[in-house]
Chains A and B, each alone.
Chain A
């Protein structure tokens, strides 16, 4: 299903022409309205004439989170406050939060982009949608809300937290679509089960739209099974617009990027050069329709790859693979690059492993150690030490083969790993550098 079919299925030649035109306009617009970009473009000798083909985007300087911080709070805005209708910000774990703002037109575009990903996932105006993203400064709650309202779905703005009440609402109001983080979806399934609710019989859920954190294919399967739904991934970040940058269609094979609004590139985060087609790297996004806060070549720090092959759904846009991690999630352990998602993938492929795990990195003397805590359950527990050891050895071996480093898997008692109602805390790095 489409929301703006003509735009979503535009042939690639026209799409590229559109992108080049919009990019040229935006460069001039930013130069005239944002002192930060005027300075940068002058420094790099950039004018709209610098862009003749789409590849010319590589001439532009990058924008990073640090630029947002340096221009806190409103230094990057292209419009006066009179035209701004909304301000969001992302939680700054260190220092100041990242502030983003929207004009009326930006909000309209955002609602259309989210409507596209909802339609792509099969949501219709008949659906009852429970949004369990936090409503507030975080773009997830309001972003999904406006988009889903746009397509005419009935929204339960449950916000995050109070899981038992969430499940009661879901059951009593007959929610058919759930919106939240994948880790929270899984937690809800667990709580529902403990409440004696069988999602297959007692709930009407059919679709999940999950985002805001990286998750593996295996986690998708677990969520789909435990909640009896189809789970769709979507991608966005507040610096760009929020959710709606990309989303999966019913093929569940990569997220279609809204390329008539964003230009995406994948680069090697160290060399800053484009990766070979289809290779993993950091996705860099340029906005070409935003009014309040146009951003050029934003370093997302998300690691993914692009797929330009045609999709059976009819959309012509490039698909981005599920991000496998963030450049800042990447753990360098004894010189080896490790993404937590790799560990998750291995764990979930082992029969009976519970989806709750935590990775603890520490340093003993000069050596990094990795301990993976996995919650034990009846499938993983054997009365005989021999069998118990065999299982642990098997997990350790598989981790070692894939990651190339020794990992120590420890079974812990059920419900001892902290559950999250937002983004899951998967990694504890105790090393002091």
Chain B
């Protein structure tokens, strides 16, 4: 099975909890003409982890590295669910029943008709893709995020 196309490149950036740091990150992306498709910010007392899915991941990575940010790339899965009450709950039940571990998740603003999209980081991405496809979950492929 081709699981590769469902692996969506994500960029994580280390930022100190200091005024202007978040802005600086987005500024670099803006100057590189990169569109942020989805993002989340995990914060602690001292630092935060900023996670992005963008239209041009390689370019985003390079421009952030060039601006001396600490950057990691990794992969997430995007699952489309019905934009209605219980949509997320049903998906999480499936995931729970499948016994696959979620590291973290966040939502994504999209233009799919009556669908919401959840982004997941799983401990084992291949296993997660395989199992979710078997359950007929709707996975978005990575080309979807390249469209503007």
**B104 near A384: Cβ-Cβ < 8 Å:** yes
- B74 vs chain A, min Cβ distance (A): 5
A378 and B42 in contact (CB under 8 A), knowing A384-B103, A413-B21, A416-B16? Answer: no
A413 contact set on B, CB distance < 8 A: 14-16, 21, 68-70
The reply on A410 being an interface residue by CB < 8 A is yes
- Distance of B103 from chain A, by nearest CB (Å): 5
A1 at the interface (CB under 8 A from B): no
CB contact under 8 A between A386 and B70, given known A376-B14, A381-B14, A411-B47: no
Q: How large is the interface on B (under 10, 10 to 19, 20 to 34, 35 or more residues)?
A: 20 to 34
Interface size class of chain A, counting residues whose CB lies under 8 Å from the partner chain: 10 to 19
Q: How far is the CB of A237 from chain B (nearest CB, A)?
A: 38
In the complex, whether A53 has a CB less than 8 A from a CB of chain B is no
Residues 376 to 397 of chain A near chain B (Cβ within 8 Å): 376-378, 381-386, 388
A383-B12, A416-B16 known; A388+B72 contact, CB < 8 A: no
- Smallest beta-carbon distance B57→chain A, Å: 14
B72 lies within 8 A of A382 (CB): yes
Is A81 at the interface (CB under 8 A from chain B)?
Answer: no
Q: Does A412 count as interface, using CB distance less than 8 angstroms? A: yes
The answer, yes or no, to whether B46 is at the interface (CB within 8 Å) is yes
Cross-chain contact of B121 among A377, A381, A384, A388 (Cβ < 8 A): A384
Q: Does A161 contact B (CB under 8 A)?
A: no
Check if B70 sits within 8 Å of A376, measured CB to CB: yes
B44 to chain A, nearest CB (A): 7
Given A383-B121, A385-B49, A411-B47, A378 contacting B72 (CB threshold 8 A): yes
Q: Is A404 an interface residue (CB 8 A)?
A: no
Tell me the bound Cα distance from A386 to B51 in angstroms. 15
Q: Which residues of A contact B72 (CB under 8 A)?
A: 378, 381-383
The verdict on B71 contacting chain A, using a C-beta distance below 8 Å, is: yes
Closest chain B residue to A377 by CB distance?
B70
Task: Encode contact with B along A395-423: 1 for CB under 8 Å, 0 otherwise.
Answer: 00000000000000011111110000000
User: Is chain B's binding surface mostly helix, strand, loop or mixed?
Assistant: strand
Does B42 contact A411, Cβ atoms closer than 8 Å? Answer: no
A378 with B68: CB separation less than 8 A: no
Interface residues of A in 319-336 (CB under 8 A from B): none
Residue contact A378 to B70, C-beta cutoff 8 Å: yes
- How far, in angstroms, from A301 to B115 measured CA to CA in the complex? 71
By secondary structure, the A interface counts as: loop
**Chain B hits for A414, CB < 8 A:** 68, 70
CA distance A413 to B25 in the complex (A): 12
CA distance A376 to B72 in the complex (A): 12
Most chain A beta-carbon neighbours within 10 Å: one of B47, B72, B74: B47
Q: Which residue of A lies closest to B74 (CB)?
A: A383
For window 93-133 of B, CB contacts with A under 8 Å fall at 103-104, 121
Asked if A385 and B121 make an inter-chain contact with CB atoms under 8 angstroms apart, the answer reads no
List the A side residues contacting B10 at CB < 8 Å: 383
Provide the bound-state CA to CA distance between A413 and B10, in Å.
Answer: 20
Determine the residue in chain B with the shortest Cβ distance to A382: B72
Closest to B10 in A: A383
- B68 adjacent to A388 (CB under 8 Å): no
Q: Which residues of B contact A411 (CB under 8 A)?
A: 14, 16, 46-47
Residue of A381, A386, A412, A414 with most partner-chain B CB within 10 A:
A381
Our pick among A377, A385, A412 for the contact of B44 (Cβ within 8 Å) is A385
With a 10 A CB-CB cut-off, give which of B14, B46, B49, B74 has the most chain A CB atoms. Answer: B14
Contacts of B42 in A (CB 8 A): 385
Chain A residues in 8 Å Cβ range of B16: 411-413, 416
Alpha-carbon distance between A415 and B14 when the two chains are bound, in angstroms:
13
User: Which A residue's beta carbon lies closest to that of B76?
Assistant: A383
Contact with A along B49-79 (1 / 0, CB 8 A): 1010000000000000000111110100000
The closest CB in chain B to the CB of A389 belongs to B44
Give B65's nearest chain A residue, CB to CB: A378
Residues of B with C-beta under 8 A to A376: 14, 47, 70
Residue of B nearest to A415 (CB): B68
CA distance A411 to B13 in the complex (A): 13
- B44: which A residues are within 8 A, CB to CB? 385
Contact indicator B103/A386 (Cβ below 8 Å): yes
A415 to B44, CA, bound (A): 21
Contacts of A386 in B (CB 8 A): 103
- The residues of B with any CB-CB pair to A shorter than 8 Å are 10, 12, 14-16, 21, 42, 44, 46-47, 49, 51, 68-72, 74, 103-104, 121
Given A385-B49, A411-B16, A414-B70, 15 additional A-B pairs, CB 8 A: A376-B14, A376-B47, A378-B72, A382-B72, A383-B49, A383-B74, A384-B104, A385-B104, A410-B46, A412-B16, A413-B14, A413-B16, A413-B21, A413-B70, A415-B68
Identify 16 residue pairs between A and B in the complex whose beta-carbon atoms are under 8 Å apart, listed by A's number: A376-B70, A377-B70, A381-B14, A381-B70, A381-B72, A383-B10, A383-B12, A384-B103, A384-B121, A385-B44, A385-B49, A385-B104, A411-B47, A413-B70, A414-B68, A415-B68
The 3 nearest A-B residue pairs measured at CB:
A383-B12, A381-B14, A381-B70
